[in-house]
Amino acid sequence: MNLERNVCLAPHTSLRVGGVADWFLLARSAQEVAKGLRWAADHGVDVRTIGGGSNLLVADDGVEGLVIKTGFAQTAVEDRGGVPVLVAEAGANLANVARRLAKQDLGGLEWAANVPGTVGGAAVNNAGAFGGDTASCLVALTLVDAHGQRTRLATDALHYAYRTSVLKRRELGDVAVETVELRLEPTVAGAADARVREFNAQRMRSQPRILSAGSVFANPPGTFSGKLIDEAGLKGASSGGAQISEQHANFIVNPGGASARDVYALMRRAQDVVFERTAVWLHAEIELLGRWTLKERAALAAPLVAAHE
């Protein structure tokens, strides 16, 4: 196990911001993840497993304890009684796998062909797009714990909802996703690939191609966060090196030189301005990781706390 000390996490995130992890492990297998989890338990330090870091806002002050990154990414398609099922290790790149399968006329994951990050992260977050999501494709996933024990859970046990799961809420403790099984659908020649191309084109039109962590806020019921932020006149607003995208107001981009604090400041500004105008509180979809203060976390979570800051 190659534990590293004081590793900067910015290069391990899609926003390219954030400070150092006290300890870092690039795990090449589930056994290495288990060893890392065990090491953290034995040393009484916090531990967090990450994938592509494409949904994270890592604090500039870094992350206490151990961060394990999943670097194992084998994939296979199994025939289960006529149903093709993708069995992917947690670190597999979801978009790459989805695109490759579509070219082989295996559909079901076309929605994912542009969702950055890993299969493990998608299973935790219930990533989704274009009407599809991980929960609706998932057959089961296998978790590994600090003792190297494996547990296979079917979809029901994960209590999926919009962009969340029991894993996202960390209700199962310090466990990591080892493998994910996703149901595929054979399609007529070229159909899955055509859908991937169509979704690509839609993304190109609507989303910025600058460093970001995707949608910053979850959509409130019946409306879109991007629309509310746009109507509040915040497109293009900036804080330090971070900017609310001109192209899509629910994206905060890092054209270069942004800090995590800059991104956070823009998130808070968007929340306050939108709340003032509409009484709708925007809830963060991206996840704060690391040394954020309780006050910072609370201010992001709810308007009442924010009003009494």
Ligand X SMILES: Cc1cc2nc3c(=O)[nH]c(=O)nc-3n(C[C@H](O)[C@H](O)[C@H](O)COP(=O)(O)OP(=O)(O)OC[C@H]3O[C@@H](n4cnc5c(N)ncnc54)[C@H](O)[C@@H]3O)c2cc1C
* Site for ligand X, rule CB under 6 A: 14, 48-56, 70, 90, 115-118, 120-122, 124-125, 127-129, 163, 167-168, 176-177, 212-214, 287
CB of 236 to ligand X, least distance (A): 18
Nearer to ligand X, 107 or 120 (CB): 120
Nearer to ligand X, 77 or 210 (CB): 210
Tokens, residue 45: 């330090």
For the CB of residue 122, give the shortest distance to ligand X in the complex, in Å: 4
Cα atoms in the Cβ-side hemisphere of radius 13 Å centred on 303: 13
Residue 133 or 193 having the CB closest to ligand X: 133
Looking at the Cβ atoms of 40 and 273, the one nearer to ligand X is 40
* Catalytic-labelled residue, pool 212, 215, 225, 245: 215
Q: Which is nearer to ligand X, 50 or 273 (CB)?
A: 50
163 is catalytic: yes
Min CB(251)–ligand X separation in Å:
7
Min separation Cβ 276 and ligand X, Å: 27
Nearest residue to 300 (alpha-carbon basis) of 274, 279, 271, 278:
271
Nearest approach in angstroms of CB 45 to ligand X is 16
Q: Which of 48, 163, 165, 261 is catalytic?
A: 163
Is 215 annotated in the active site?
yes
Tokens of 197: 């191309």
* Catalytic residue numbers, as ranges: 163, 215, 285
